[in-house]
Amino acid sequence: MFELTEEQKSIKKAAREFAEKEFTKELALECEEGEEYPADLVKKAFQLGFPSIEFPAEYGGQGYTFFEKVLITEEFCRASSTLGMMVAEACGLGAPLVEVFGSEEQKKRYLVPALRNEGSIAGAFTEPAHGTDITFLDTSAVKERDRWVINGTKTFISGADVAVGVVVLCQTNPKADPTYGGQTLFLVDVKDVEVSKFRPKLGLKALSLCELKFDNVVVDEKDILGQLNNGFYETLLLFNQIRILGGARTLGMAIGAYEIALKYAKERQLFRRPLARFQGIRWMLAKMATEIELARIATYKAAHLEGQGKGDPAFSAMVKSWVPERMLNVINEAIQILGGLGYMTESDVERRWRDARAFQLAGGSREMCWNTIARYLIDRDHKIPI
């Protein structure tokens, strides 16, 4: 059903070769320990066009679809969980929103530099007091004559310290009914925002999660991204892609962990035979491989629909609620097969577990995905496309 075209196979192969050569264990460790952005690596990846794969050629992208982005993400995260995620996402969470809803002026000012690796476009939705619930926001944009004034705080914002611009969701009409019908996206220069790096965290240590303070930030009417009071709905379009990417990232992380465990099980000699001869270990490997293949089919299906402009929110939510959870289990089993070594950083498996854990929260938590699936299937009688 999802046989890759020859071109897709060669893109996947090129991504694998690049990642295997460049995403070294030493660099991953260096970036993790120093909580450092892998700038040189990102530069090399841009030279080969990987981070900009799905953006139109006229703005400096490669003109492929979201499906090819998923293939690259899987390969990059297979080679290294932290580096893979950061390099694949180097254009930033807000870049697809600018591509779809941006004016020509906004695209020239923010998207073109982002695709040239001059700084990403962050996406700021989450707030300290509201978290998952973005149906009402404290961050407000108030119109004063022909200008808008933004005030508020956004939290856990990925990579805002290396961004040129930030897409921020604001409450523009607090009295709207429903409240999310009074929200608008603005595209703001990061220089106008106070950006502070966030607290230490479990994984993805090289990725900074920032807190953004908007203190009377003045923007123009032309800085509205998309339509006034339509920002919530525009954001939902982005969420569909983020959910599928959560699947692709953890899929790649788990494939890498499985491969490490398989090699180890074949080489490690215990009780005068390779570990891979024991049925208990064979069944673990068999179950891991099964979960990986099923996760791949589901992720590719969702990505294929999205790439064709037929993205299905219920199915994407299924992928996001299921794939990261099962892939975390695969990585956990890989740690078990490696024994004490699996618990050590040098094995390159424990980091995968810590990094993959983020995706039951980030980009649509497991619970919110279940809510989406239930809403579509139970309340709307929605049918998942075959």
Ligand X SMILES: Cc1cc2nc3c(=O)[nH]c(=O)nc-3n(C[C@H](O)[C@H](O)[C@H](O)COP(=O)(O)OP(=O)(O)OC[C@H]3O[C@@H](n4cnc5c(N)ncnc54)[C@H](O)[C@@H]3O)c2cc1C
Residue 157 in the binding site for ligand X (CB under 6 A) = yes
Closest CA to 85 of 278, 300, 245: 245
Q: What are the Cα distances from residue 378, in Å, to 159, 367, 368, 382?
A: 37, 16, 15, 8
Of 70 and 207, the one with the shorter C-beta distance to ligand X is 207
Specify which residues 365 forms β-bridges with: none
Residue 362 in the binding site for ligand X (CB under 6 A) = yes
Which of the residues 126 through 155 are near ligand X (CB under 6 A)? 126, 131-132
CA within 13 Å, CB half, 350: 13
Please report, as a single letter, which amino acid is at residue 8: Q
User: Smallest distance from the beta carbon of 155 to ligand X, in angstroms?
Assistant: 7
Which of the residues 205 through 234 are near ligand X (CB under 6 A)? 209
Asked if residues 2 and 301 have their Cβ atoms less than 8 Å apart, the reply is yes
Answer for which of 49, 84, 123, 324 binds ligand X (CB under 6 A) is 123
Stretch that binds ligand X, among 26-34, 121-129, 247-255, 330-338 (CB under 6 A): 121-129
Binding mask 364-383 for ligand X (x = CB under 6 A): -x-xx--x------------
Residue 162 in the binding site for ligand X (CB under 6 A) = no
Helices and strands, number each (H, E), in the chain: 13, 10
Residue 40, C-beta contacts closer than 8 angstroms, at least 6 positions apart: none
Q: Where are the beta strands (DSSP E) in the chain?
A: 120-124, 140-144, 147-158, 163-171, 183-189, 194-197, 209-220, 224-225, 269-270, 273-274
Q: Please, what's the b/e burial string for 343-371 (b: 16 or more CB within 10 A of its CB; e: otherwise)?
A: eeeebbbbbbbbbbbbbbbbbbbbebbee
Answer for which of 67, 76, 156, 264 binds ligand X (CB under 6 A) is 156
Stretch that binds ligand X, among 58-66, 228-236, 305-313, 356-364 (CB under 6 A): 356-364
Answer for which of 53, 141, 358, 373 binds ligand X (CB under 6 A) is 358
Of 84 and 123, the one with the shorter C-beta distance to ligand X is 123
Residue 121 in the binding site for ligand X (CB under 6 A) = no
User: Smallest distance from the beta carbon of 59 to ligand X, in angstroms?
Assistant: 22
Of 12 and 130, the one with the shorter C-beta distance to ligand X is 130
User: Smallest distance from the beta carbon of 209 to ligand X, in angstroms?
Assistant: 6
Task: Give φ, ψ of 200 to 5 degrees.
Answer: -60, 150
Q: Which two tokens stand for residue 146?
A: 């022909």
Of 198 and 278, the one with the shorter C-beta distance to ligand X is 198
Answer for which of 86, 124, 163, 217 binds ligand X (CB under 6 A) is 124
Helix (H) / strand (E) containing 300: helix 279-307
DSSP 302: H
Answer for which of 103, 361, 375, 377 binds ligand X (CB under 6 A) is 361
For residue 380, the SS3 value is coil
Residue 245 in the binding site for ligand X (CB under 6 A) = no
User: Smallest distance from the beta carbon of 293 to ligand X, in angstroms?
Assistant: 27
Asked if residues 44 and 21 have their Cβ atoms less than 8 Å apart, the reply is no
Binding mask 25-54 for ligand X (x = CB under 6 A): ------------------------------
Answer for which of 158, 208, 235, 241 binds ligand X (CB under 6 A) is 158
Q: Residue of minimal CB distance from ligand X? A: 131
Residues within the interface to ligand X (CB under 6 A)? 93, 123-126, 131-132, 156-158, 204, 209, 358, 361-362, 365, 367-368, 371
